[in-house]
Structures are given as structure tokens and as C-alpha cells.
Amino acid sequence: MKWGIAVGLGLAVAVAGWGLAGAVETKSKNRLGGREPPTAAPAGQPGGTVVKETAAQAADPAAERKAREEAARKAQELARTRRTLTTGKTSVNFENAAIKDVLAYMAEVGKFSVVFDGALGEAGIDLSARTVTIRLTGMTYEDAINLVLPKECGYRIEPGFILVTTLEKSWIPLKTATYSIQLALAEVPDFEGPRFDVSTVLSQTRQGGGGSGLFGTTTTTKTEETGKATPERIIGMIKKFVRNQTDRRIAPWDDEGGPAGIQYSGGRLIVLQTEHGHRAVAKLLAAVE
């Protein structure tokens, strides 16, 4: 009788032990999402989860070198294409020619390519069906393309080619740049070229010429002195003269419902604009200082 009780107790303990081990194993698997925990490979043998992951993440010097070379090549090609478009001169003489053919001619002469974005077709724009009559001599490719394209179209400069697309897509991606205005805040002289009295210009922009942040917030600060330059009034001056209404290559400002913006911080303006918009901002600020 005592022997039977001992056997029964032994079996009960064994079953309990097996249940506890199963519970521990199940809990471990649940913690790992049902996966077995990684195990290290035996000493001197390849393998093991951790070793394999580390090897897969190791950098490939040849691949990195190739990537750097490709990035440098694209940067050089982009600079060359931009230089051709902004400084190269073209002469065209077309009558009732398809816009697509005129652009292809300029691209062939200028030694760059033109790519037509599929967004044009989605917007119902067929540049092979639209015609233009144009005669010009000694104009930069950039200005010539701007004249040839319909008002609802734009383009972006890419490495070795231009991407002709819808006007809204031509502004994207915008670029951020900073401009120091400490000298302008200290003393604002007259403009060069067409002579403007900057104090008068700033006075004209005081009405509604508040500084607009990059996130759409607008603030207006009243000045105690009419001719005094303030960040808000300089921002207003930029928005008055650097405008999408006068040049479609400039993105509309955020207070007009556009994607571009200006923010002031520590004697500098942080400007979010297109490449052409940045050139216009830099030219204006250079004239002010």
C-alpha cells in the first residue's frame, strides 16, 4: 500500500514538472512572437542568427564607393544642365509648330534631354497637339522654355534633362535656404537699377506685410518709426516683389495658399522656395544691402 502511494506521488510530481516546463516554453515563444530564441553558433563553427545578421549589415566598401561616384556624377550633370539652361543662349523661329517639337529642338541644340511627365496626360495636357508661333534670338534656354510652355505647365531641372510637368508639380520639391538680413536691419539703402526708396517700399508693404511662418502662421508687428526696417517689413517686401503672379517659376507663398514660406530667426530669414524663387530672393536682398 505504501509503495503504491509513493508511485502515485512520483507520477504526480513528474506530470506537474512537465506542465511547468511546457508553460515556460510557451511563455518564451509568446514573448518572441512564436519564434524560437536565436542561438549562438558553436565555437569555431560558422552560423548563428546574431552572426548572420551582423554580417548582412556590414558595409560593402565597393558598393559605398560606387554610390559616391554615382552621386558625384549626378551632381556634375545637374550643374552642367543648370548652367546650360541659365547661361546658354538659343535662337528659335517656329510658326504653328507643336510645343513638343519646339522643346525637342531646343534640347537637341542645347545638348540636354526633355522628359514629359505622365501627369500632363492625367491633367488633359497634350503638348503635341498644342502649337506655338515664336521668334526669338539670344535668349537663355530657361527663359525660352518659360515662354513656350503653356501657363498650366512648368519644368524641373534634373541631371542631364528637364522634366516638363504640371505647374504645381514643377514647384516640388521646394528648397530651404537661409539669408542674413542683419545689414538690412541696421541700415537699408536705395535699390540699384530701378531706383526705389526702400523706406517707401517698406511703408507700402506695412499693410498686410506680416511675416509668415513655414507652417502657415502669420504675424503682423507695427513699427514705431515709418522708415525703420524690421524682419516683418522685409518679409513683406520680398513677398511684394518675388511673386508667382509675375513669374510662374516662383511658388506662391503660404499666405496665398501656396507651399512656399518665410520665417525669421536670429538675424536670418529661412526661406522655402523653388530654385528660381531663391535666385529672386537673393537678388532682391543683395540690392537692399
CATH of the domain at 89: 3.55.50.30
144 plus 213 within the same structural domain: no
Work out the pLDDT band at 289, boundaries 50, 70, 90: low
Contact 90/141 with Cβ under 8 angstroms? Answer: yes
190 plus 282 within the same structural domain: yes
pLDDT at residue 132 in the model:
95
284: CB partners within 8 A, 6+ apart: 237, 238, 241, 242
Work out the pLDDT band at 288, boundaries 50, 70, 90: confident
User: Is residue 129 packed enough to be buried (19+ CB in 10 Å), middle (13-18) or exposed (0-12)?
Assistant: exposed
Does the pLDDT value for residue 123 go beyond 60?
yes
Question: Is 17 a member of any domain?
Answer: no
Total-model pTM: 0.62
Q: What are phi and psi of 3, to 5 degrees?
A: -65, -40
201 plus 162 within the same structural domain: no
Selected residue with higher pLDDT from 60 and 134: 134
Residue ending a domain, among 127, 146, 170, is 170
pLDDT at residue 226 in the model:
55
Residue ending a domain, among 150, 170, 190, is 170
Total number of domains in the chain = 2
Question: Is 10 a member of any domain?
Answer: no
Domain that includes residue 132, residue range: 66-170
244 plus 182 within the same structural domain: yes
Does the pLDDT value for residue 11 go beyond 50?
no
Q: What is the pLDDT of residues 224-254, one digit of tens each?
A: 455 678 999 999 999 999 999 999 999 999 9
217-222 mean pLDDT: 43
Largest Cα–Cα separation, the chain = 120
pLDDT at residue 175 in the model:
95
Residue ending a domain, among 115, 145, 170, is 170
